[in-house]
Structure 1
Amino acid sequence: MRLAAVAETFHRLQGANPTPTTELEYASPFQLLVAVVLSAQSTDKGVNIATRKLFALAPTPEAMADLGEAGIAEQIKTIGLFRNKAKNTAMLSRQLLERHAGEVPNDRAALEALPGVGRKTANVVLNTIFGEPTMAVDTHIFRLANRTGLAPGKDVVEVEKRLVRRIPKEYMRDAHHWLILHGRYVCTARKPKCGECLIRDLCLYRDKTE
């Protein structure tokens, strides 16, 4: 996709949804961090059901550390990989208290040093909480970037770097959210809804549906 088409893509996405945001529910940077850690291989809807109970009991790093691995696991047992996620959540809560005075750091290296936090999770936090022009590439964005020709790449890091280079700066703050929502609800995996797509005429996908 040419750069002019990339710019037009985000102009249209912005026009349709001027203030996009994550579908994960949270009331603080800490809660968003935990929710994103829990969202790996799980749906946002399922994570929200679990975190409503979890955050009611443990809304802060102190309370989460006190709740402990077993207590966390009991609250999130409806989501996949809950035992490992409970372990990571308990450990990252303790590390936030020990290393960052209970605050979520605005630093990629510090975020990725926390248990259960990889590049994608760090990018979500840096973008959503701190407004950094980062791009968290999940399965939806990876598929969409390759299918449309927006930023093709063989792996998530390559796609991420190409998106950051190709998306105009004025759209970078919200680009991650627009792409996730478009991939989740329109440019779906099995049968994309090309007939409903705002960028159908810009997209390079050959096998468009009606």
Structure 2
Amino acid sequence: MRSVPDISRTSTHLDMARRNQAFAVSGLEDTFPINALSLAECGLPFTDLDMLALEYSPGIAGPPPHGSGSMEDDSALHGEATDKKRRPGRLGRPCIYRGDPDAKHLTEQQRRQIKRRIGNRESARRMREKKQADEQCLKTQLEAVRGQLKASEEKNTSLQHDAQLASAKLMAAELEVSHLQAENAELKAMRGGNFMCPM
């Protein structure tokens, strides 16, 4: 039968392993790489029960696997990367170029650059104003054309209505003429019969 290991000895081994890991976590992992040492190299008489206790004991399982970091670590890393992006360093022109071109501490080249930048901004501003004025003019013309089109449509509708009325009147007049012609033919027939003498 297999002997049951001493619980006190196992607890002592666990305490030693925890202390070793505390040293490793505190920045001594290069000097005392706990993960690289096996149980046999430690010289401790660990049994299967001790190994299971070490494996499932909190704080001794070793470093977490890749990709299992906490959200705070990920956010910290992401924030650090964001800060690096936000602070790329002085890669562009110095902030002194944004000042007054008449400042005394500027060189002639810096003055020209500032004046060129101011001229470019003024040119861009004038172009924007011209574009806005052109857009407003086009909008006004478009509204005028729409008004004329609406008036033309209304006039066309009125003309179509008048044409329909005139067509109806024409049909009524043609019908009346047809009736009058028929009556005239009857009258002529009646008058012609009265003048005829009986044989």
**TM-score interval (norm. to shorter):** under 0.3
Higher helix share: 2
Give TM-score, length-normalised by structure 1. 0.17
Q: TM-score, normalised by structure 2?
A: 0.18
- More RCO (CA 8 Å, sep 6+): 1
